[in-house]
Amino acid sequence: MTGVGYVAAPADLSAFGHDPWWLVIGKALAIFVFLVLTPLVAIYAERKVMARMQMRIGPNRVGPRGILQSLADGVKLALKEGITPSGVDKPIYLLAPVIAVVPAFMAFAVIPFGPQVSIFGTLSPLQLTDLPVGVLYILAVTSIGVYGIVLAGWSSGSTYPLLGALRSTAQVISYEVAMGLSFAAVFLYAGTMSTSGIVSAQEGSWYVFLLLPSFVIYVTAMVGETNRAPFDLPEAEGELVGGFHTEYSSLKFAMFMLAEYVNMVTVSALATTLFLGGWHAPFPLNLWDGANSGWWPVLWFVAKVWVFLFVFIWLRSTLPRLRYDQFMNLGWKILIPAALVWVMVIATVRAFRNEGYNTWLVLLCVAIVLGGALAAVLAGTFRDRKRSAADPSASLDAQPFDAQPFDAQPFDAQPFDAMAGGFPVPPLPGQRTQKLQRPEVAAVDMVARSVSDTSEDSHA
């Protein structure tokens, strides 16, 4: 990757498409079993790790140290009565959990678990299949899963599930843009979109070091993509009761939970493939000659996936839920612009390298340009803050309605009666609220006066 004028060779996909039918079925069944068992272990690990972080015990009744708790929960959900509300659109209501869970399994078809090995005498790669656009296939398939959430909220015939579904739609649209841009930097550097080709390109050094901004953007986007805390806005219990799956129970609810955890495994496996070298052994294990051959790479791959799953649990245990406006601002105003700038940097570096220019000279020029742009942004931010401090009325106008004090409007604004319609409403720009007594205070005063009058009458 450091040679001048380097152009990546296309990925070699000749090893795929030649497996006998029994081997294809065996690989598909192994992936299915892996994706079903991993959520069972992840749920137990999540409850135990969160309990340890919060100084609790966690599950400890069902089985030794509670290891059978996830299995007991699955059996309980399977045996519970499936209640279907009367106001639902029944075909879509029943189809939504299936639409949510099936794409989560399909995305693993192009994830490489290891190199070519001998399986009952047949030499085959530890991967179901691969495509010249394998990463784009994963992005497209996982995007279909949001339709299950949207249709679940819409078909429930209830307000809060619908709000959760709409939130999920906006969330996925916002964060898939940043996720796709982080993929673009990997494509430019690796010269291929196939997952096996990207893993092969990281044999010398992992992209987590070469493309660190893309890795940070992807890790943030994958948490938002899977609706996990602190980005679990589509199912915020404090605001939406239970979100899009409020009206679901029994196995239908279990399918939504399965889809969430399988999606966690999918995005973790994709992060491992794109940035952590895939199935390649980490340092210093890669110094061993046999570390990247045989069945050992499966162990390295699964260990890397579990590192990301632990990060999911860690975030849920420690961070509070964001407000929705903060969440959308993070996606549209920070992640997407940063990803766009970084993709342009990578494209510029690759273009100059392909023309024969020195890599370090190109990087120095790019660093100077980025430093100047960052300095201009910081200078503008400080200038706006200084202007707001010098003119308090301008800063009050720039604040959102709910952030302004009750009577902190400019004095030249038009007076505004917030209770004129019988219900409190925020003032519009250019209006100021009058000094009105709060309704609850007025009610207390009225009750106090009536009690006082009654006591005076009784004494008389």
The predicted model gives 7-26 an average pLDDT of: 78
| Cα 98 from chain centre | 21
pLDDT at residue number 360: 66
Lowest mean pLDDT among 101-110, 192-201, 205-214, 412-421: 412-421
pLDDT one-digit tens code per residue, 418-446: 777 666 777 777 677 665 445 544 554 55
State percent of the chain over pLDDT 90. Answer: 28
pLDDT at residue number 32: 94
- Rounded-to-integer distance, Cα 415 and Cα 433, Å: 6
Reply yes or no on whether the pLDDT at 320 is more than 70.
Answer: yes
Give the CB-side neighbour count of residue 28, counting CA atoms within 13 A.
9
pLDDT at residue number 397: 45
Place of tokens 């996909």: 13
Short-list 142, 374, 373, CA closest to 269: 142
Residue 416, strand partner residues: 433
The CA distances from residue 107 to 111, 141, 407, 452, in Å, are: 8, 6, 54, 72
Assign 41 to helix, strand or coil. helix
Q: Are 26 and 126 in contact (CB under 8 A)?
A: no
pLDDT at residue number 443: 52
The secondary element (H helix, E strand) that includes residue 455 is helix 439-459
- Rounded-to-integer distance, Cα 139 and Cα 340, Å: 18
The predicted model gives 102-112 an average pLDDT of: 91
- Average of per-residue pLDDT values in the chain: 81
pLDDT at residue number 113: 92
| Cα 312 from chain centre | 10
Assign 7 to helix, strand or coil. coil
The secondary element (H helix, E strand) that includes residue 124 is strand 122-126
Q: Are 2 and 201 in contact (CB under 8 A)?
A: no
Give CA torsion, residues 441, 445, 447, 449, to 10 deg: 180
- Rounded-to-integer distance, Cα 446 and Cα 120, Å: 87
Burial 415-450 (b: 16+ CB within 10 A, else e): ebeeeeeeeeeebeeebbbeeeeeeeeeeeeeeeee
> Which of the pair, 358 or 165, is modelled with greater confidence?
165
The CA distances from residue 245 to 213, 238, 249, 256, in Å, are: 35, 14, 8, 8
pLDDT at residue number 446: 55
Residue 119, strand partner residues: 122
pTM of the full predicted structure? 0.78
pLDDT at residue number 175: 87
The secondary element (H helix, E strand) that includes residue 229 is none
pLDDT one-digit tens code per residue, 76-95: 988 888 888 888 888 999 99
Assign 117 to helix, strand or coil. strand
Q: Are 228 and 47 in contact (CB under 8 A)?
A: no
